[in-house]
Amino acid sequence: MNIRVQQQSLTSLESDVLVIPLTQGEQSNETVQVLSATLNGALREQITRSGFTGKEGETLLFHTQGRLPSRSVLLVGLGKADAVETETWRRLAGKSYKEARGQGAKHLAWFFAADRGRDDALAAVVEATLLSSYTFDKYKSEKNGKPAVETLTLAGTNLQKTATLTRALDIAQKTAPGVFLARDLINEPASVSTPTYLAEQAAKLSRGNGLKGEIWGLNKIKAAKMSGLLAVARGSVEEPRFIKLIYKPAGKPRKKVALVGKGLTFDSGGLSLKPAKSMETMKLDMSGGATVLGVMEVVSQLKPQVQVTGYVPATENMPSGTAQKPGDIIRYNNGKTVEVLNTDAEGRLILADALIQAVQEKPDVIIDLATLTGACVVALGGQIAGLFSNNQELAEALLRCGTETGEPLWRLPLVKEYKEDIKSSVADIKNIGSGNAGAIAAALFLEEFVGGLPWAHLDIAGPAFAERDGSYIPKGGTGFGVRTLVRYLLSL
Site for ligand BES in 284-303 (CB under 6 A): 285
How far is Cα 263 from Cα 366, in angstroms, rounded to an integer? 17
With a CB cutoff of 8 Å and minimum separation 6, the contacts of 153 are 3, 4, 5, 6, 13, 15, 107, 108, 109, 110
Residue 201 or 265 with smaller CB distance to ligand BES = 265
Which of 72, 103, 371, 389 lies at the binding interface for ligand BES (CB under 6 A)?
Answer: 371
Residue 127 or 353 with smaller CB distance to ligand BES = 353
202 binds, among ligand BES, Zn ion, none (CB under 5 to 8 A by kind): none
Residue 93 or 379 with smaller CB distance to ligand BES = 379
Backbone phi, psi, residue 157, to 5°: -70, -35
CA angle 121, 127, 130 (to 5 degrees): 140
Widest CA span of the chain, in angstroms? 83
Minimum distance from CB of 274 to Zn ion (Å)? Answer: 7
How would you list the strands of the sheet with 429-430, edge to edge?
329-331, 337-339, 429-430
How far is Cα 272 from Cα 432, in angstroms, rounded to an integer? 12
Which of 198, 230, 232, 377 lies at the binding interface for ligand BES (CB under 6 A)?
Answer: 377
Minimum distance from CB of 374 to ligand BES (Å)? Answer: 3
Minimum distance from CB of 372 to ligand BES (Å)? Answer: 6
DSSP readout, 422-471?
GB-SSSSEESS-SSS-HHHHHHHHHHTTSTT--EEEEE-TTTTEESS--S
How far is Cα 217 from Cα 237, in angstroms, rounded to an integer? 14
Report the residue number whose CB is nearest to ligand BES: 374
- Long-range own/partner contacts, residues 133-142 (CB < 8 A, 24 or more apart): 133/1, 133/97, 134/179, 134/180, 134/183, 134/474, 135/474, 136/183, 136/184, 136/187, 136/474, 136/476, 136/477
Q: Does 267 bind ligand BES (CB under 6 A)?
A: yes
Which of 195, 386, 438, 474 lies at the binding interface for ligand BES (CB under 6 A)?
Answer: 438
Site for ligand BES in 456-485 (CB under 6 A): 461
* Amino acid, res. 115: D
Q: Does 432 bind ligand BES (CB under 6 A)?
A: yes
Q: Which of 348, 430, 483, 487 is catalytic?
A: 348
Minimum distance from CB of 262 to Zn ion (Å)? Answer: 7
Residue 111 or 465 with smaller CB distance to ligand BES = 465
Which of 16, 99, 184, 267 lies at the binding interface for Zn ion (CB under 5 A)?
Answer: 267
Where does 207-346 have alpha helices with state H? 218-223, 227-233, 276-279, 287-302
Minimum distance from CB of 467 to ligand BES (Å)? Answer: 11
Minimum distance from CB of 458 to ligand BES (Å)? Answer: 13
How far is Cα 301 from Cα 449, in angstroms, rounded to an integer? 31
Minimum distance from CB of 284 to ligand BES (Å)? Answer: 6
Quick one: which of 229, 256, 240, 244 has its CA closest to 367? 256
274 labelled catalytic: yes
476 binds, among Zn ion, ligand BES, none (CB under 5 to 8 A by kind): none
236 binds, among ligand BES, Zn ion, none (CB under 5 to 8 A by kind): none
How far is Cα 400 from Cα 405, in angstroms, rounded to an integer? 9
Instruction: Provide the 3-class DSSP secondary structure of residue 205.
Output: helix
Q: Which of 98, 222, 225, 274 is catalytic?
A: 274
487 labelled catalytic: no
Minimum distance from CB of 277 to ligand BES (Å)? Answer: 11
Residue 58 or 285 with smaller CB distance to ligand BES = 285
Beta-ladder partners of 76: 21, 59
With a CB cutoff of 8 Å and minimum separation 6, the contacts of 429 are 336, 337, 338, 339, 422, 423, 445, 448
15 binds, among Zn ion, ligand BES, none (CB under 5 to 8 A by kind): none
Show the binding pattern over residues 341-360: x = contacts Zn ion (CB under 5 A), - = does not. Answer: ---x-xx-------------
Q: Does 373 bind ligand BES (CB under 6 A)?
A: yes
Show the binding pattern over residues 334-353: x = contacts ligand BES (CB under 6 A), - = does not. Answer: --------x-xxxx------
Say if residues 7 and 158 touch (Cβ distance below 8 Å).
yes
342 binds, among ligand BES, Zn ion, none (CB under 5 to 8 A by kind): ligand BES
Minimum distance from CB of 347 to ligand BES (Å)? Answer: 5
Q: Does 462 bind Zn ion (CB under 5 A)?
A: no
Quick one: which of 373, 409, 366 has its CA closest to 391? 366
Question: From the centroid of its chain, how far is CA 27?
Answer: 35
Residue 21 or 438 with smaller CB distance to ligand BES = 438
Q: Is 327 left (phi over 0), alpha (psi -120 to 50) or beta?
A: left
Residue 43 or 318 with smaller CB distance to ligand BES = 318
Q: Does 316 bind Zn ion (CB under 5 A)?
A: no
Positions touching ligand BES (CB under 6 A) are 267, 285, 342, 344-347, 371-375, 377, 432, 438, 461
Active site residues: 274, 348
Residue ranges in contact with Zn ion by CB under 5 A: 264, 267, 285, 344, 346-347
